[in-house]
Amino acid sequence: MTTINSHSLPLDVVAQVLAESLPYIKRFHGKTIVVKYGGNAMTEEVLQRSFAHDVVLLKLFGLNPVVVHGGGPQIDDALKRIGKQGTFIQGMRVTDEDTMEVVEWVLGGQVQQDIVLMINEAGGKAVGLTGKDGSMIQAVKKLMPNKEDPSLPIDIGYVGDIAKIEPALVKALQDDQFIPVISPIGYGEDGLAYNINADVVAGKMAEILGAEKLLMMTNITGVLDKNGSLLRVLSAKTIDALFEDGTISGGMLPKISSAVDAARNGVKSVHIVDGRVPHCLLLEILTDRGVGTMITSD
């Protein structure tokens, strides 16, 4: 039997979740919920435990969670151990051959298996996957736009765009009551592995699976305006303006771009949630309170 640790979840929150959850459980029963797992929630023990319990409870309640994880800090730590410094262009990690070996080892090995074990210990049945399994994520080499000379795109190494997602394996696991845990590594027709931004994989996976919700866990309260105030609901059109005036920039670019694409391509609702809040998934999905920004289509 799966239980929530009462020391990690305040009693008033327990009562509110129980009181408010029934209509949401009925509404979302059988629906797919894609979760991009990253940030502090992956590195702080209390948040790790609350995430695992949330995912297991969602499955027990009849929802179908699919986890896509990042691992930027873990990759940076591993690179430092071999004397390399991570570099980024327009929010994307520059990935040479040595870095790609580290990415595969960290994401497809260490990080993925830690998440799988954590969910299983909480009472779930998680299975780890990379894009190679079942030819799930087919990739092509990504070239970044060059603002100074558009005719000369920037090569950032073994970084990929998604050419195609084949969801059959994920759907089969869901039907057998497993929780898929997906590392954002794709494989090209050239037989090479490609590092794909986890936000991009989560967004496209949500589209392909026809997900009810896409939740992207971050280390901030949500999308903020220039004054640092939380924007609770945004349309895709409003976000286009925030891109243009520089309000959204850097590492948030791929996250918000993927969220907007998912909202425009059939995902019912997309949420940028504060992963530093214990049990943020339960609070966002099964209660009336929100813990971030909701993004809607135009």
Annotated binding site for substrate: 71-72, 93, 195
Structure tokens at 43: 């590195």
CA contacts within 13 A on the Cβ side of 86 = 18
Structure tokens at 205: 């996976």
Binding-site positions? 71-72, 93, 195
Distance between CA atoms of 129 and 79, rounded to whole angstroms?
23
What 139-144 contacts at long range (C-beta under 8 Å, 24+ apart), as own/partner pairs, is 139/163, 139/186, 139/187, 139/188, 139/194, 139/196, 140/188, 140/194, 141/188, 141/194, 142/92, 142/194, 144/89, 144/90, 144/92
Give all strands (DSSP E) within 107-245, no chain letters. 126-129, 137-144, 154-165, 179-182, 185-187, 193-195, 213-218, 233-235
